[in-house]
Amino acid sequence: MVYSKSSKIGDWVVVVFCALLILVCILPLLNVFSRSISSSTALIKNEVMLLPKGVTFEAYTNVLTDSKYTWSLGWTAILTVICTIISLTMTVLCSYPLIFANLKGRGVINTYIVLTMYFSAGTIPNYLLMKDLNLLNNPLVLIIPGCLSVFNMIILRSSFYGIPESLRESAELDGAGPIRILVSLYLPLSTPTLATLALFYAVGRWNGFSDALMYMKTREYFPIQLLLYNILNNLQSVEVATQEGFSNPGLSESIKAATVMFATVPILLVYPWLQRYFIAGVTLGAVKG
Amino acid sequence: MSAIAAAPGKPSKSRFLIYLSRYWTLYLLLALPIVYFAVFKYFPMVNILVAFKKYNITTSVFNMEWAQNNGFEHFIKAFSNRDFLYALRNTLTLNLLDLLCGFPAPIILAIVLNELKFKMFKRVTQTIAYMPHFLSWIIISGMALQLFAPTSGLVNLALGKIGIGPIHFLDNSSNWVATYIFLGIWQSVGWNTIIYLAALTGISPELYEAAAVDGAGRFRRIWHITLPGLRSTIVVLLIMNLGRILGSEFDRPYALSNKLVSDVSNVISTFVYTHGIKSLQFSLATAVGLFQSVICVLFLLGANAMAEKFGERGIW
């Protein structure tokens, strides 16, 4: 194709636009990272912009020697793994039977499930339920109530629908039962979708915050986000105290930055590898949902 | 199959048994999810009654006394509650601004990405643009507190170099609203392009080539090929967003707000949390939540009807 000169200029405008977008996305993270490894004097003098000044890992050692923080990181990691496994299992259990066109009552069950996407009881009715079920301050409250997402169920079901029915029929003729077909046919063929859903569930739990805020008063079970929220706010009050000279304001600044880094990095390490799959997943869910 | 099950007589019964012997495991698989939805989604709906009752911790919701004014006492109270009226106003304002600024953003970005000729660079841009979607609002608020700090934040340091500021992004009401909207776009714009980009892959490249041969410039191609290709996606997403105009997220306003801006940052979801769970006014908070979800459903139905009138397939 032949391009005119103006079209070439347009191409470069587009490139510059995208480059700016990349900067706007990355610079905040770079700034926080630089603050986390800058010396406290540089931070007090407001010298840290994009690159670190007077590199020190004091903030990280401070955070890592704080047992409250490391415990919360470990607990959230365990919680994330447990939740992801349970949620994936529940999602498979829910979506697989619904692809059998001759399953009696399929329509009713389907409506029963999808309706919950549009009507929810609300914050307080849910809170009262947790109270009645004795789930308040119980670690299970961070696992069970959110263990199945209808949206994710629809994504997996669409992916199951994409597997040719003839494959299933021939397996049935060979005498394989539904469970056998699920394990040896549908699950292996849907690994990309399962990986995507695992990412969605894991990120959801890792970033989850409001359920712990509402249902959990026991500090030992605070997930990392709730602790981070408290640290950010407590440190703010520490900062006020430091103006009267109680402790080191620069260090508290870099500790804040370091805690943000700890909560961010695990996700940043995972999501790019699954990009191809989650794009497909989101698109499927949007079309069928 | 259902026809066979409906027919009376012996043969159908034995067929039904064959059917059951083959498929009973499927019902077994479904049992756990069905119980889950019953317990955690349908059962709590009973507690909505609290909105019409005098909350009493010692008894079940059915035995509580009805509230005054035929049970509508708490709704009336809500509408004479200054905090609630502010929350209602803020929910509407923030959502409208979100819709106005945040809705076109991914469409524009998708069109720009579609114009990008360098495949590798496009991939990198996309990957990085998706990143903010994976950050929690707590993390974003933590970063925002640092970036926008009046004396030490990157943004004000940079503005200071060109002689502007310092601007109080987070502790001045109108600036806070702008920051809130901006951060919302920052977090979601990349992610929301996914669905538009998927729609664009459906457009045949031949159309662009033909248009180029006919001498159509870039903007004419965007206007006559790209945008029409996005039309139905835009309409469906617009409906879903209109349906959420009175809905409210919790994490975003809760994490970003602070005491200095509470007059513009309190929304219905945070009102329900502070008045319900923190100060234990369960009936009032339930009434407010119920009011919100009823309005939401009405908006969704209305928007959907509107879409069908415009000849789109709607969301059902």
Buried-exposed string A216-228: b where 16+ CB fall within 10 A, e elsewhere: beeeebbbbbbbb
Q: Check if the beta carbon of residue B193 is closer than 8 Å to that of residue B109.
A: yes
- B127 in the same domain as B259: yes
8 Å CB contact between A252 and A239 = yes
Nearest partner of A234 among A79, A68, A70, judged by Cα:
A68
Band of the pLDDT at A89, cuts 50, 70, 90?
A: very high
Q: Could you tell me if B264 and B143 lie in one domain?
A: yes
Evaluate whether residue B55 is within a structural domain: no
Which pLDDT score is estimated for B312?
61
Query: Amino acid identity of A46?
Result: N
Domain identity same for B175 and B241: yes
Q: Which residues of A touch B64 (CB under 8 A)?
A: none
Alpha carbon distance A28, A35 (integer Å): 11
Predicted pLDDT at A288: 45
Q: Which of B2, B25, B158 sits opposite A179 (nearest CB)?
A: B25
Could you read off the pLDDT of A156-182 as tens digits, one per residue? Answer: 998 899 899 899 889 988 888 889 999
pLDDT, tens only, B137-162: 999 999 998 889 888 888 888 888 88
Residue A237 is predicted with a pLDDT of: 40
B47 interfacial to chain A (CB closer than 8 Å) = yes
Cβ–Cβ below 8 Å for A124 and B151: no
CB distance from B217 to chain A under 8 Å? yes
**Same domain for B287 and B226:** yes
Does the pLDDT of residue A191 top 70, yes or no? yes
Nearest-CA distance A224 → chain B (Å): 10
Residue B166's H or E segment, with its range, is none
Ranges A65-69, A257-261, B46-50: which has the least confidence: A65-69
Q: Are residues B177 and B284 in the same domain?
A: yes
**What is the structure's pLDDT at A127?**
94
Residues of chain A with Cβ-Cβ distance to B190 below 8 Å are 21, 25
* Residue B59, domain member (yes or no): no
Are B80 and B29 members of one domain?
Answer: no
- B279 touches A at CB < 8 Å: no
Band the pLDDT of B314: cuts 50, 70, 90: low
Contact yes or no for A225 and B136 at CB 8 A: yes
B174 with B30, same domain: the answer is no
Kindly tell me if the per-residue pLDDT of B7 is higher than 60.
no
The H or E element spanning position B165 is none
Are B157 and B283 in the same domain?
yes
Say whether both B45 and B93 belong to one domain.
no
Q: In whole angstroms, give the CA distance from residue B157 to residue B154.
A: 5
- Name the nearest CA neighbour of A285 among A177, A168, A196, A216: A196
- B residues 69-128 near A, CB within 8 Å? 109, 112-113, 115-118, 121-122, 124-128
User: What would the DSSP string read from start to end of A30-66?
Assistant: HHHHHHHTS-HHHHHTT--SSS-SS---HHHHHHHT-
Residues of A in contact with B121 (CB under 8 A): 15, 18
Q: Where are the alpha helices (DSSP H) in chain B?
A: 2-6, 10-37, 73-79, 82-97, 104-115, 119-130, 137-147, 154-161, 173-201, 205-213, 218-221, 227-243, 251-256, 262-265, 268-272, 282-309
Going by pLDDT thresholds of 50, 70 and 90, the confidence category of residue B136 is very high
Per-residue pLDDT band at A5 (split at 50, 70, 90): low
Report the CATH number that the domain containing residue B183 is assigned in CATH. 1.10.3720.10
| Averaged pLDDT for residues A93-119 | 90
Instruction: Read off the pLDDT band of A274 (50, 70, 90).
Output: confident
Same domain? B15 vs B86: no
| Residues B100 and B11 occupy one common structural domain | no
Other CB atoms closer than 10 Å to residue B70's CB: what's the count?
8
Q: What is the pLDDT of residue B316?
A: 47
Task: For residue B81, tell me if it sits in a domain.
Answer: yes
Domains of chain A with bracketed CATH: 60-288 (1.10.3720.10)
Question: Which among A94, A109, A125 has CB closest to B286?
Answer: A125
Q: Rounded CA gap, B145 and B155, in Å? A: 11
Q: Which residues on A lie below 8 Å from B26 (Cβ)?
A: 96-97, 100, 103, 178
Whether residue B279 sits in one domain with residue B148:
yes
At residue B7, the 3 state secondary structure works out as: coil
Q: Which of A18, A35, A149, A256 to mutate to test the interface with B (most CBs of B within 10 A)?
A: A18
**Domain range enclosing B9:** 2-50
Question: Under 8 Å CB-to-CB from A125, ≥6 apart: which residues?
Answer: B44, B45, B46, B47, B48, B50, B286, B289
- Split into its structural domains, chain B has a count of 2
Q: How do residues A125-134 score in pLDDT, each as one tens digit? A: 999 999 999 9
**Residues of chain B neighbouring A279 (CB-CB closer than 8 A):** 194, 198
Q: Does B209 touch chain A (CB under 8 A)?
A: yes
C-alpha B11/C-alpha B195 separation (Å) is 50
3-state SS class at B53:
strand
